[in-house]
Amino acid sequence: MPQFDIYISPDEPVYVISVVAKLVDLPVWTLRQLDKAGVVCPKRIGRKNRLYSLKDVKRLEYVHYLMEDKQVNIHGIKIIIAKEIEE
């Protein structure tokens, strides 16, 4: 069977919230709170559906690290990420 390589841009929103929750080991309600706080803002499809890109997933892995290992709350995470974007 031939192998086909598919390239998906890291900016392309393709992951639904339930898949992202499993990938980054965060509950769906936490992902919604992070979206509400502006930490990670997935693309909206319609009024309810959120689609995350690979870049969003990678940022959420970092957020998970900050929350679990460093005990940083959502407000603190927002500040940390804003500072890193400035640099």
In a domain, 27, yes or no: yes
Residue 26's nearest CA partner among 79, 62, 53, 54 is: 62
The pLDDT of residue 2 is 82
Range of the domain at 56: 15-86
Considering its fold, how many domains does the chain have in total? 1
- Positive/negative CA dihedral, 75, 72, 39, 14: negative
- Find the range with the poorest average confidence among 31-35, 46-50, 67-71: 46-50
* pLDDT higher than threshold 80 for residue 1: no
The pLDDT of residue 28 is 97
Q: Which residue intervals of 7-53 are DSSP H helices?
A: 17-24, 28-37
* pLDDT higher than threshold 80 for residue 66: yes
What CATH number is associated with residue 60?
1.10.1660.10
Q: What pLDDT, in 10s, does the model give residues 3-38?
A: 889 999 999 999 999 999 999 999 999 999 999 999
CA gap 30, 26 in Å, rounded: 6
CA gap 37, 9 in Å, rounded: 25
The pLDDT of residue 45 is 92
Residues 6+ apart with CB under 8 A from 9: 53
